[in-house]
Structure 1
């Protein structure tokens, strides 16, 4: 059995304290559970933040003031050793939604007074009994669409409030057999090797079939959408994406790990590419852009069955000279470090 119970409990205790704290207590709660020099990475417009005060004042307090009665609704919770860290660092990952009542503006997105979901995924590096690093990615365009401020042209796939795993077994609070996580990680690595470089001699569908179940579900971000089966994923995202970019860099990640039938990774950025036109209805720019991405996978036997994807599209398009957030809301929001 894998034994990441200590690290899991540290993160669960942090979530419990954070989610139940009064808004003004949030920086103190973060300081009590995280390293003094905590490095926090978040989607645009937040970027990199350092320390409890910055993370609390810049992200959590404004969010809690806007989305009142906030609830964390987790669909995946897992831990594992980062295969990219020679020291064997342990990371804990959770994925789901932050649900609340949208009562006040957030990032200048107009409130609705109604229930909204902020789709999120967070990776936490645990060291010396504290959270040392966090990568917390969240789908701001998805929230904007719930508020009636659609920032993008019509999507190639479907816009949905995304459910958790079909098998309802993603909350791994207990220990799991080590070999199951090893199988999952090996499959993710094979998929990256097969698909990551865009230079296979196979057709796209043949490439996909090496790693993916035929009835795969790709839960993509707002602006792209979700799609079902290899054929529709190829038509509604993968082929479109490949045809819209050139000069794709090699894949690079900060953390890649797995536990049980689940695994995932994130990068800062994962890769860079230059748009040649057409993607999300945008013209070619000739400017290379970075893609900050989290991917979470569910393995079914020897194939990948589900994939939840977080892409910082606001950051990517800002690099291309289009500030989607400012254009849609009419005001520039506060920003962290790029």
Structure 2
């Protein structure tokens, strides 16, 4: 192994510790793999936390208290470097457990609950220096009947992993293949930003990039759409109606794209 494979292997211990979820063991693994001043960035209400202990006590332990038998279930792990040579490992999956106590004031259900996560770990010299992550908290609110907004237009459900089944185990990363996957996604996004300012839906050339039977897995509150029409009807058209200036503030955003064989990610 070496490079990205090593980073991915280093994260295996942290992932396993969140499956077994032994508190002392989890804290020890997190401390061992992270730089002391690593920044862990989660969306509201958690925000940014500095140091592995702060991340554990203010986020992971909060989830554990609400779901005492919580475990982590990854369905994809990938690694690569962005255009600036920064090394990343990305993960996607669900936390699952019995919802017995309030979580962020969301009332418990007494039933199995699931919360999707997407996590991106920045590695420097073999240690985590930053995590950028989203926990799909609205997904939990919906399961608890505590969603205060209108229903999703798309289908809400516990989404599966990649259809190919190789999200966790696949051949060694090939740099050229990985770069091609990354560029394909960037080209797709650039084409999508052409609409509506440069013309109708045809300027996006979506059939060039999207499989006719693809699933677009939006976050809770948006939901899943099937195929190009499903994506357009249940997400893109209403999204653009609400935010017509989409794509106009790219200069204010820092993107980190990276590829791993047939997969690409951005944080």
Q: TM-score, normalised by structure 2?
A: 0.90
1:196-237: CA deviation from partner (whole Å, max 9, x where unpaired): 354553422551223222222110111111001112211211
- Do 2:18 and 2:72's aligned partners in 1 also have CA atoms closer than 8 Å? no
Listed one character per residue, the Cα deviations across residues 49-81 of structure 1 (whole Å, up to 9, x for unaligned) are 111221111101111111122221111111011
C-alpha RMSD of matched pairs (Å): 2.1
Q: Which has the larger share of helix?
A: 2
Q: How many residues align?
A: 263
Secondary structure of 1:246 counterpart: coil
Secondary structure in structure 1 of the residue aligned to 2:265: strand
SS in 2 for 1:214: coil
Q: Structure 2 regions of 5+ residues with no counterpart?
A: none
Once the two structures are superposed, the pairs formed by residues 188-199 of structure 1 within 5 Å of their partners are: 188-196=185-193, 198=195
**1:33–1:154 CA distance, 2 compared to 1 (3 A):** same
Query: Mean alpha-carbon deviation: is it higher for 70-79 or for 176-185?
Result: 176-185
Identify the match of residue 211 of structure 1 among 205, 209, 212.
Answer: 209
2:108, 2:61 → 1: CA distance? 16
> Which of 224, 233, 236 is the aligned partner of 1:235?
233
CA distance in 2, matches of 1:26, 1:59: 13
Q: For residue 20 of structure 1, report the CA deviation from its aligned partner.
A: 3.3
C-alpha separation between the residues in 2 aligned to 1:174 and 1:13?
Answer: 20
Q: Once the 2 structures are TM-superposed, how far is the Cα of residue 27 of structure 1 from its aligned partner?
A: 4.1
- 1:253 and 1:220 map into 2 onto residues whose CA distance is 21
Q: How many angstroms does 1:258 deviate by?
A: 0.9
Aligned 1:214-293 pairs, distance under 5 A: 214-248=212-246, 249-251=248-250, 252-266=253-267
Secondary structure of the equivalent of 1:17?
Answer: helix
* Residues 113, 143 of structure 2: 8 Å contact kept: yes
Q: How far apart are residue 265 of structure 1 and its match?
A: 0.6
Between stretches 222-231 and 195-204, larger displacement belongs to 195-204
Q: Which residue, 178, 182, 193 being the options, matches 2:179?
A: 182
Equivalences for residues 39-54 of structure 1 within 5 A: 39-54=39-54
On the 8 A contact 1:21/1:29 being kept in 2, the answer is no
Residues in 2 aligned to 1:229 and 1:146: alpha-carbon distance in whole angstroms: 26
Aligned to 2:98: 101
Q: Could you report, residue by residue, the CA deviation over 1:70-120 in whole angstroms, capped at 9, with x for unpaired residues?
A: 22111111101112x2xx121001101111111111101111121111100
1:144 corresponds in structure 2 to 141
Q: Give the direction of change, closer, same or farther, for the CA distance of 1:189–1:197 in structure 2 (3 Å limit).
A: same
- 1:104-139 Cα shifts (integer Å, max 9, x gaps): 111011111211111001100111121111112111
Distance 1:25 1:7, change over 3 A: closer
Q: For the Cα contact (< 8 Å) 1:2–1:177, is it kept in 2? A: no
More strand by share: 1
With over 3 angstroms needed to count, the CA separation of the structure-2 counterparts of 1:220 and 1:132, relative to structure 1, is: same
Report Cα offsets for 1:135-161 as digits up to 9, x if no partner.
121110111111122232022211111
